[in-house]
Amino acid sequence: MTQLCLRVALVAALLVPGFAQAGAYLRVVSWNLRHEGWNGETDYASDAKQIWSQFGSNSTSPNGCDVVFLQEVMDSTAAAGIASALKTVSGVTWSYAVTPLVGRSSYKEMYAVVYRTDTVSLLSSSLYSDTNDVFEREPQIVKVRQVATGADFTFINWHTVFGTTAEREVEVRAIDTVFNSVQNASGTDQDVILLGDHNAACTSAWWGDLTGSVSPAVTCKLDVLTSLNSTGGYANAYDHFWMQSTYVTELSSTGRDYVADTLWLVNNLSDHAPVWLKMYSTSDTD
């Protein structure tokens, strides 16, 4: 009788979708690391400790992270250094992908995605095809799959031009074309998330084309002060997560990473605090 019950339970687990599949969180960090890889900006061990040990909005948040999106990466060795440092601090293996250097002038940056190989599969990483040269740094488009649940997500990693006010406005007003293009390019994954350093608050009227012309509605899920001034004070709300709640039903929470000493951070690592989001899923919803 005991063996019969076990067999019935096993068959039920195989036949009922999701019955035997546990839910899991996908923990995401986005961080502008300020000329990462240049002289004086190579403290990868401290970067990794901030990412892994301070994920969350307070000092008691559980350690851990699954995928990190970086802006202002100056060469591929910086991404490799952070992946190696994350392995040291976490005890698990990390990999990474970088874009080519992008920028119109002699000053150029890379985007990078760094991810745990046991929890995340990287499906693709590419640069948006900016045929009309609208963006100083065309966004990185990254598709990942959560290993535990099979859920797929597409991220748009974007560092908006700072330049003049007019230049920033042009780029922010044009990002809706990127969002639409990325979403329309996939018939199987509608979970699109825009993140990065956007050099504009979510309340700015410049976002009107994104919030008003994309359907279903795109909304900002984080609008808190994230950039740091020279005294360690929070100055501007520049780093965000934008998504369609209709599609990204997995969203659990977002926040600005806990920083133990903001003055130390701005003097040693970056003039931005990392931001994070958590998503919970049991299967792929697309």
> Exposed e or buried b for every residue in 247-285, given b needs 16+ CB within 10 A?
bbebbeebbbbbbeebeebbeebbbbbbbbbbbebbebe
Please give the Cα distance from 245 to 242 (Å, whole number).
9
Q: What is the largest CA-CA distance in the chain?
A: 76
Cis peptide leading into residue 62 (ω within 30°):
no
- In one letter, which amino acid is 157? N
In this structure, what token pair is assigned to residue 121? 């599969």
- Phi then psi for residue 239, to 5 deg, are -110, 125
Please give the Cα distance from 158 to 154 (Å, whole number).
13
Please give the Cα distance from 103 to 161 (Å, whole number).
9
> Which of the following is catalytic: 41, 72, 109, 138?
109
Please give the Cα distance from 256 to 224 (Å, whole number).
7
> Which of the following is catalytic: 36, 72, 136, 159?
159
Contact partners, residue 88, CB within 8 Å, separation at least 6: 45, 48
- Closest by CA to 140, choosing from 162, 122, 119, 167, is 122
In this structure, what token pair is assigned to residue 10? 């096993």
- Closest by CA to 160, choosing from 117, 119, 207, is 207
Asked if 252 and 280 touch (Cβ cutoff 8 Å), the reply is yes
Whether residue 159 lies in the annotated active site = yes
Whether residue 167 lies in the annotated active site = no
Give catalytic residues, as residue numbers. Answer: 109, 159
